[in-house]
Structure 1
């Protein structure tokens, strides 16, 4: 498996499992928008026999188990990264880097309206989903 920088690796996990989640859910759509068309992501997922749709199904499934506040934060940061990608024709890692570069001393992002804490919460969530995919008995394990 290709090793991507932390946020990209985490974002792959974001997208993770199609088990039991509606493909048309808001969370799955945000995830798909965030990852779609990034050749590194597509290649990395394909190495494990996965697709963006499978990953985003898991993202949506596991997100439903988070608190409403956590769900809102994760979706907002994911949408911001998606928007940065779309507006600037960037890959996922580049978009995340652009967001990180905008954080100021108080931890806010004046340009994008998210916080460093929210960004880190999203990264942790993505890492959690990624780990869930790598276990045969995890919440997103293939049946």
Structure 2
């Protein structure tokens, strides 16, 4: 599996959520009927930091011995987040389309990073003339 596309997609998704929460915490707090914009801003910093990790690791072999921590972190974040979002969406506690889309995206990334975490990465075939 080519992990570069997955890493770029997850970095863009997390970066977009992070930047939104960093720069618009008051507006998002009002939309969510929550009173604490500071917590949302800290959450945005967390998302943005995770996006930067994914962006800088996009060229590495994810799932290998050195890229394994990145795959574990992403699998835990998206797996737990996806499971946490599925229950309220399925029980009609969250009926807004935004939450349904976020739940689907989280489940997709959770399954993809789970696949990477539990399967050994395959190196690209090397050209035999390079080795000679």
1 or 2 for the larger relative contact order (CA 8 Å, sep ≥6)?
Answer: 1
Higher CA-based Rg: 2
Q: TM-score, normalised by structure 1?
A: 0.28
Q: TM-score, normalised by structure 2?
A: 0.30
